[in-house]
Amino acid sequence: MSEQETTHFGFEQVAVDDKARKVAEVFHSVASRYDLMNDLMSCGVHRLWKRFAINLVGVRRGDRVLDLAGGTGDLSVRLARLVGPKGCVVLSDINASMLGEGRRRLLDEGIVGNVAFVQADAERLPFPDNHFDAITIAFGLRNVTRKEAALASMWRVLKPGGRLVVLEFSKPVLPGLAPVYDVYSFRVLPLLGKLVADDAASYRYLAESIRMHPDQDTLKGLLEQAGFEGVEYFNLTGGIVAAHRGYKF
C-alpha cells in the first residue's frame, strides 16, 4: 500500500485530503471578524495593497471579472463599480461563511445586478473555457492545496488577452525587515487574534502559511508553467506582499 500523500498546513504536515477541511475551519472561525482583523494587523495598509492590485488588473467597463477567493468582497466592491452595469463580477470563495460575509457586504454597499456569488474550489473552477476578461485572487492562493492545478484552472477560464493578478504575502526583501517581521508574525498576530477574535490558533496558522508560500520568483515560475506570459511582479511594503500579473495570449 502506498503512503498517503501529504502537504503542509502551516508548519504541520497533513494528508492532502485534510488540508481543505482544516483551512475551511480556520475561515469559518474568523469570517465575522476578518475585515476588522485585516485593518488591525496591517494598520489599514491592506487597503492600499488591494487598490494597487486593482489598478494592475486594468479593468474596463463591460468586463467580466472573477474575484477568486474573494472572501468578504472588498475587491468585488471596487471591481463592480469599475465594470459598470454592463459588466459582471463573480465573487467566488470555497468557504460558505466568507462568501456569506461578502454577499452581505455588497448588498450593504448597494451593489446589485452586476455581481454573482459562486461557492467554488479554485482547483476546479465551474466556468466555461475563455470566459473571463480578468481574474483577481488576493491573499487566497497560499491556502490552496494544489497551486499548480488552481493556476491551470484560472488560465483555462481566462479569455485570450485576459490577465490574472495574484496579491499575496511574500518574502521581505528590504534589509533588516525579515527579523522584525518574524517577531510581529509569531508573537503579535496570535495575540491580536486571541484578543479580538478569541482565536490565536487561526492567526498562528496565518503566520506559518505565509512562511510556507513560494517566494516572488518561485511563484512567477509557477505562473509561467501554467501558461501565463509576460509575468511580472511588484514588491509592496518591502516585499511583505507582492502583486504578480500574467497574461493569457
Residue-wise pLDDT for 114-148, tens only, equals 999 999 999 999 999 999 999 999 999 999 999 99
Instruction: Report the share of the chain in percent with pLDDT over 70.
Output: 98
How high is the pLDDT of residue 4?
66
Residue 208 belongs to a domain: no
Whether 188 shows a pLDDT value over 50: the answer reads yes
Residue 193 belongs to a domain: no
Residue 204 belongs to a domain: no
Mean per-residue pLDDT, 143-161: 97
CA gap 233, 216 in Å, rounded: 7
Count Cβ neighbours within 10 Å for each residue of 67-85 and write b for 16 or more, e otherwise: bbbbbbbbbbbbbbebbee
Residue 60 belongs to a domain: yes
C-alpha cell, 223: 505562473
How high is the pLDDT of residue 3?
58
Q: What is the pLDDT of residues 2-53, one digit of tens each?
A: 456 888 777 888 887 778 787 877 777 787 788 888 888 899 999 999 999 9
Q: Structure pTM? A: 0.91
How high is the pLDDT of residue 42?
92
Q: What is the pLDDT of residues 51-105, one digit of tens each?
A: 999 999 999 999 999 999 999 999 999 999 999 999 999 999 999 999 999 999 9
How high is the pLDDT of residue 2?
46
Question: How many independent structural domains does the chain possess?
Answer: 1
How high is the pLDDT of residue 224?
98
Q: How many Cβ atoms sit within 10 Å of the Cβ of residue 28?
A: 14
Residue 225 CA neighbour count, 13 Å, CB half: 11
Higher pLDDT, 40 or 224: 224
Q: Which domain holds residue 142?
A: 6-171+214-247
Strands 241-247 and 158-169: antiparallel
CA gap 137, 117 in Å, rounded: 15
pLDDT, averaged across the chain: 92
Q: How many Cβ atoms sit within 10 Å of the Cβ of residue 5?
A: 9
Q: How many Cβ atoms sit within 10 Å of the Cβ of residue 99?
A: 23
Q: Which residues are annotated as a binding site?
A: 72, 93, 121-122
Mean per-residue pLDDT, 141-161: 96
Residue 122 belongs to a domain: yes
Most confident segment among 17-26, 33-42, 179-188, 217-226: 217-226
Higher pLDDT, 113 or 18: 113
Q: Which residue has the cell 497574461?
A: 247
How high is the pLDDT of residue 75?
97
Strands 132-138 and 241-247: unpaired
Residue 133 belongs to a domain: yes
How high is the pLDDT of residue 1?
39
3-state SS, residue 198:
coil
What is the DSSP code (8-state) at residue 71?
A: T
CATH number at residue 141: 3.40.50.150
Please choose, from the candidates 164, 168, 162, the residue with its C-alpha nearest in 3D space to the C-alpha of residue 243. 168
Residue 162 belongs to a domain: yes
Residue 200 belongs to a domain: no
Q: Which residues are annotated as a binding site for S-adenosyl-L-methionine?
A: 72, 93, 121-122
